[in-house]
Amino acid sequence: MTRQTVLICNELGLHLRAAARIVGSTARFPCQVWLSANDVTVDGKSLLGITSLMASQGTAVTVSAEGLKEEQAVQETCRLIESGFAPSTAS
């Protein structure tokens, strides 16, 4: 299992559009992905689950993954969160 903790730096926190970006990213990986914040862990491929974290700016979020390409899934998800959910320039 790969795990990394990042802070939500986006002023609006983990809102619906940001959660949708995470789901779009994590769905590409053939592994299980989880996000944890405020003592709650949710499926990182579930829009409803991610929004239920209600993570505001400054909240620590732990991204975990297990399975094929787990390291890439965690790295990409953390990069997305750290960027404030800015569009990726990588193809």
47-80 residue pLDDT tens: 999 999 999 999 999 999 999 999 999 999 999 9
CATH number, span 2-82: 3.30.1340.10
Show me where the domains of the chain are located: 2-82
* Residues designated catalytic: 15
What pLDDT does 87 receive? 65
Query: What DSSP assignment string belongs to the chain?
Result: -EEEEEE---TT-S-HHHHHHHHHHHTTSSEEEEEEETTEEEETT-HHHHHTT---TT-EEEEEEEETTHHHHHHHHHHHHHTTSPPP---
What pLDDT does 75 receive? 97
